[in-house]
Amino acid sequence: MQRAIPHRQDTFRFWLSFAALSAVILTAPFLTGCEATHASTGDAKPAPLPVSVVKVRQADVPLTGEWVGTLDGYVNAQIQPQVSGYLVRQNYREGTPVGKNEVLFQIDPRPFQAAVDQADADVGRAKGQLAQAEAQQGLTQINLKRDTPLAQARAIAQSQLDNDKQQAAQADAAVAAAKAAVGSAEAALTTAKLNLGFTQVRSLIGGVAGQATTQVGNLVNPQSVLTSVSQLDPIKVYFSISDAEYLALTSRARQAGGDLLSSKSDLPLTLTLADGTPYPHKGHIAFVDRQMNQQTGAIRIAASFPNPGNVLRPGQFGRVAAATEVRRGALLVPQAAVQELQGVEQIYVAGPDDHVHVVNVKLGSQSGSDWIIESGLKPGDRVITDNVQKLKDGAPVSPHEVSAEAAVLTSNPTGGR
């Protein structure tokens, strides 16, 4: 007797149908949840982003020009000898202050002392010859006075009187020659004494002496530069300004009733050192070049700054600043509020409806940590200073008003610019 065995194909179809039904049952709740999530997302609005805002303020702003300056001595003197000879001594310490007429170097004086002694002897010899010539002149004058009346009375021959006159004329010539010789000898003595004095090489100005460029024992001449001395108090700072800046400074000086050279108190200059330290003393313009450089379009200016203690030295660099004009009613915003996109300056403004509006602006000059706005904003507009990378035009925001100083600290916690 045979048993009925199910067909293998029917068994496979049964299990396939069972798997499909199970998949449908398990997937249905997931699809229902996704649709609910999608529906809820589409209906919700983004939460307003908290932002800090600063109101555009209006004020009178002094505009300041700033230029890179090079420091130099007020007077710089190259120390050169006036005679040739061997250096035998250096009398100063390099890099220290020296006084006016202080002896810095000593040249061997012996050849020049010998020249003085010789010139002195020549003067004595010339004076002796002059004395002899004057004595002979006196004798001829006596003979001439004695023989003149005798010749008129025919007591002596006329030839005797003529001889006396000839001798007197010769004596006068000898005296004149002797006087000239004395003058020449005295001039030579004066020159010899000057040359002897020039063996002491002096500084003609007071200041700080630099490093010696030659050593003791070297042979020097009037073309040799031994060292340099610079007057450092006050000290000069040279810088160049553009034609427009020069006209602005000149106009400001005229408004004060003077010019660039005389209005010291009306146009004070400030100096910032290379390490960013403000120099405590104010300066003034001491020199304006006679012409504008046609290649650079700039004119050279020299400022004078007090330098007590000779702290500043030639060759240093600094930034010179001066107020060029006063902008009346300028609109100011913090620098943190300005963004640049493809060469266009933009500012995010929180509108009355607390939504973001992107405004293109035209920037003017900087004033401290602020920008001067030439166009695009009006007083009282609320500009956004933080979270601007997360904003887009029309987005809702939750503005919180802060001061301009707080906005600067928020954008730069170190307090720097």
Contact between 349 and 381 under an 8 Å Cβ cutoff? The reply is yes
How many domains are contained in the chain? 4
Which residue type is seen at 101? N
Query: Are 219 and 170 contained in the same domain?
Result: no
pLDDT confidence band for 248 (50 / 70 / 90) = confident
pLDDT confidence band for 18 (50 / 70 / 90) = low
Tell me: the pLDDT tens digits for 160-212? Answer: 888 888 888 988 899 899 999 999 999 999 999 999 999 999 999 999 999 99
Tell me: the pLDDT tens digits for 375-401? Answer: 888 898 999 988 888 888 888 988 888
Query: Are 142 and 173 contained in the same domain?
Result: yes
pLDDT confidence band for 4 (50 / 70 / 90) = very low
Instruction: Tell me if 35 is assigned to some domain.
Output: no
Instruction: Tell me if 10 is assigned to some domain.
Output: no
CA 229/CA 204 separation, integer angstroms: 9
At residue 404, does pLDDT exceed 50?
yes
Query: Are 248 and 309 contained in the same domain?
Result: yes
Write out the two tokens for 26. Answer: 């398990």
Domain boundary among 284, 299, 327: 327
Instruction: Tell me if 279 is assigned to some domain.
Output: yes
Contact between 332 and 318 under an 8 Å Cβ cutoff? The reply is no
- Which helix (H) or strand (E) segment holds residue 71: the answer is strand 57-79
- Three-class SS state of 48: coil
CA 51/CA 398 separation, integer angstroms: 6
Query: Are 151 and 220 contained in the same domain?
Result: no
Query: Are 364 and 375 contained in the same domain?
Result: yes
Domain boundary among 327, 351, 371: 327
Instruction: Tell me if 11 is assigned to some domain.
Output: no
Query: Are 305 and 383 contained in the same domain?
Result: no
Query: Are 104 and 151 contained in the same domain?
Result: no
Tell me: the pLDDT tens digits for 104-138? Answer: 999 999 999 999 999 999 999 999 999 998 898 89
- Which helix (H) or strand (E) segment holds residue 400: the answer is strand 397-401
Once rounded to an integer, what is the mean pLDDT over residues 214-225?
Answer: 94
Query: Are 100 and 215 contained in the same domain?
Result: yes
Write out the two tokens for 103. Answer: 């002896």
CA 168 to chain CA centroid, Å, is 75
At residue 68, does pLDDT exceed 70?
yes
Once rounded to an integer, what is the mean pLDDT over residues 145-152?
Answer: 84
Contact between 189 and 122 under an 8 Å Cβ cutoff? The reply is yes
310 C-beta neighbours (distance < 10 Å), count: 15
Top pLDDT among 16 and 373 is at: 373
Q: What pLDDT does 104 receive?
A: 96
CA 385/CA 339 separation, integer angstroms: 10
Bridging pattern class, strands 200-202 and 227-242: unpaired
Model confidence pTM above 0.85? no
The CATH number given to whatever domain includes residue 354 is 2.40.420.20
Domain boundary among 308, 327, 346: 327
Contact between 20 and 369 under an 8 Å Cβ cutoff? The reply is no
Query: Are 205 and 102 contained in the same domain?
Result: yes
CA 205 to chain CA centroid, Å, is 23
Angstrom CA distances, 183 to 177, 190, 244, stand at 10, 10, 64
Query: Are 263 and 237 contained in the same domain?
Result: yes
Instruction: Tell me if 271 is assigned to some domain.
Output: yes
Contact between 253 and 263 under an 8 Å Cβ cutoff? The reply is yes
For 140, the domain range is 109-198
Query: Are 290 and 371 contained in the same domain?
Result: no
Instruction: Tell me if 13 is assigned to some domain.
Output: no
The CATH number given to whatever domain includes residue 218 is 2.40.50.100
Contact between 231 and 207 under an 8 Å Cβ cutoff? The reply is yes
Instruction: Tell me if 217 is assigned to some domain.
Output: yes
Query: Are 87 and 220 contained in the same domain?
Result: yes
Instruction: Tell me if 39 is assigned to some domain.
Output: no
SS3 content of the chain, % helix, strand, coil (to 5): 35, 35, 30
